[in-house]
Amino acid sequence: MAVTLLLQAIILLAAAVAGWIFLHRLRQRNSKDPKTWPLLGAQRETAFNLYRLHDWIFSFFRNDHRTVKLCIPSENIFFTVDPMNVEHILKANFENYPKGERSNYMAHEFLGDGIFNSDGDVWKKHRKVASFEFSNRKLRDFSTDAFREDALRLLHVLHSAALSDKPVDLQDLFMRMTLDSICQVGFGVSLGSLSPEIPDLPFAKAFDKVNEIIVTRFFNAFWQIERALNIGKERTLKQEVGALNSFTANIIDQRRLELQGNNRSKVDLLSRFMSYNEEHPGTFTDRELRDAVLNFVIAGRDTSAITLSWFIFCICIHPHVADMVFEETKKVLDSQDSTRGYTFEEVAKRMSYETLGTMHYLHAALTETLRLYPPVPFDGKVAAGDDTLPDGTQVKRGDRVAYVPYSMGRMEFLWGKDVLTYNPDRWLQDGVFQPESPFKFSAFQAGPRICLGRDSAYLQMKMTAALLLYFFRFCIVPDHVVHYRVTLVMPMANGLFVNVSPR
């Protein structure tokens, strides 16, 4: 009798749960947002689609459905592609949409209180010094020389690959090049990542692994349990962060010794931060200097290298764009001198800040790449108070609101019927580059937090792309699969393997 009653209770409970789930799902039959389950929200669907997260989120947007709500147990996240909402979040109501304490907490082991992971006075302090230095002509000239030298090293590596007829992972080479550049410009350190032997880079591997693990925290309601138990990805994260901390500590110690030796000629960013400390004692602790270093690395290494990788991918599919860039480069160089330079060094020497500024087609081709493949595919803020977005979306205090450059670049209502076509000409009028509103083309963010290194990034990308396409042709290795990897940024999951041949 007792067994029968227990069995009946189990059956009734199962029926009640099934009915609850059925009604829950039934109420969502007309929803345009990701479907949810009782208690779990959309955690299950998010986990299943994490490997293709950006395309999954994009699939919910329509021209008449520009804000998508994702409900997971830890929070509600609103993703938007509406430029009016983007302007509201990033400028008009900026104070109500900070990065937020939770975001800072989740990425704190990695980015600390650096410029990309802080708010309020801490953020203002980092941005004030960085803003002053990025406007410094000495830093611009120093950067131009560093970018030129690093691009030359890459040319020689590719020349060897072309002679040996062996494919290369161009994304790896770009990452090495930009790591060398940001360490030189940012910290006055030469790593030699692009030396002929292509050395192993423990710091770079640790940096990429931490980057990849941190982003999963934003969609995993149970990451704190894993961290407390020191298991899985959280255990790996702890180990890799230790490697990052050792690297940055060595850089800071080395720079401090040089500055104590009265070497005041250094114009790298870290030296300027440390010099600012001398004028305003105690402004930046060693921990804050460490945070500044890692924030500069993700800004100066990852974003430019990723964009260059997607750019080469695009011109491999559209080789006429590479030919157009070659013709533009040849025209610019020949207009300076009647004798065309043939060596890497001769051509690179002519690539000045002013010369590159006249290359409007190349600028358009890189910008078109950023439209379709932004290195930061989405960026989230948190609502400090209840709010209503311009499109009528009701946001509660504590909700996360993210604008989505990846999806925005694919919206027909923003870019027209040919939205998925790679077309640099859409940015040109009578051969002159025409910028779009940063609230429509949001790859560099907008408002008070707009990217300080935008001009520097374009400078390096144009320097590198112009030289590469002047001397080489690229073809993707047959059967090589190109797809993004989901991290805080958007690199290619399998690298970019290409065959290189002289032009």
Domain boundary assignment for the chain: 24-502
What is the percentage of the chain residues whose pLDDT exceeds 70? 89
- What residues are paired with 400 via a beta bridge? 77, 382
In the prediction, which pLDDT does 3 show?
Answer: 62
Per-residue pLDDT reduced to its tens digit, 278-310: 666 667 888 888 888 888 888 888 899 999 999
In eight-state DSSP terms, residue 35 is: P
In the prediction, which pLDDT does 117 show?
Answer: 86
If residue 168 lies in a helix (H) or strand (E), which one and from where to where? strand 168-169
pLDDT band at residue 15 using 50, 70 and 90 as cut-offs:
low
Tokens for 420, please give them.
């998925």
pLDDT band at residue 338 using 50, 70 and 90 as cut-offs:
very low
71 annotated binding-site participant:
no
- Sorted by sequence, the CB contacts under 8 Å of residue 441 that are 6+ apart come out as 367, 370, 371, 405, 408, 409, 435
In the prediction, which pLDDT does 72 show?
Answer: 80
Q: Which pTM was predicted? A: 0.88
CA separation for the pair 312, 303 (Å, rounded): 14
- Sorted by sequence, the CB contacts under 8 Å of residue 355 that are 6+ apart come out as 332, 333, 336
pLDDT at 74 over 80: no
Most confident option among 277-281, 310-314, 328-332:
310-314
How distant, in Å, are the alpha carbons of 10, 276, 402, 492, 495 from that of 312? 60, 40, 28, 12, 12
CA separation for the pair 295, 114 (Å, rounded): 6
Per-residue pLDDT reduced to its tens digit, 40-70: 667 788 888 988 999 999 999 999 999 999 8
In the prediction, which pLDDT does 1 show?
Answer: 62
Contact, 38 vs 21, CB < 8 A? yes
- Sorted by sequence, the CB contacts under 8 Å of residue 443 that are 6+ apart come out as 370, 371, 374, 375, 376, 405
Three-state DSSP string of 83-150: HHHHHHHHHHCHHHCCCCHHHHHHCHHHHCCCCCCCCHHHHHHHHHHHHHHHCCHHHHHHHHHHHHHH
For the segment 180-208, the average pLDDT, to the nearest whole number, is 83
pLDDT band at residue 340 using 50, 70 and 90 as cut-offs:
low
Per-residue pLDDT reduced to its tens digit, 220-268: 778 888 899 898 899 999 999 998 899 888 888 888 887 776 665 667 7
Averaged confidence pLDDT in the chain: 87
For the segment 10-23, the average pLDDT, to the nearest whole number, is 63
In the prediction, which pLDDT does 339 show?
Answer: 45
CA separation for the pair 304, 310 (Å, rounded): 10
Per-residue pLDDT reduced to its tens digit, 119-140: 888 888 888 878 877 777 877 8
For the segment 365-387, the average pLDDT, to the nearest whole number, is 96
- More confident of the two residues 101 and 405: 405
CA separation for the pair 312, 28 (Å, rounded): 43
Tokens for 225, please give them.
């349990």
In eight-state DSSP terms, residue 404 is: -
CA separation for the pair 85, 401 (Å, rounded): 10
CA separation for the pair 340, 337 (Å, rounded): 7
Per-residue pLDDT reduced to its tens digit, 434-480: 999 999 999 999 999 999 889 999 999 999 999 999 999 999 999 99
pLDDT band at residue 39 using 50, 70 and 90 as cut-offs:
low
pLDDT at 196 over 90: no
CATH superfamily of 24-502: Cytochrome P450 (1.10.630.10)
Sign of CA dihedral 411, 415, 418, 419: negative
In the prediction, which pLDDT does 100 show?
Answer: 87
Phi, psi of 383, deg, nearest 5: -75, 120
pLDDT band at residue 341 using 50, 70 and 90 as cut-offs:
low
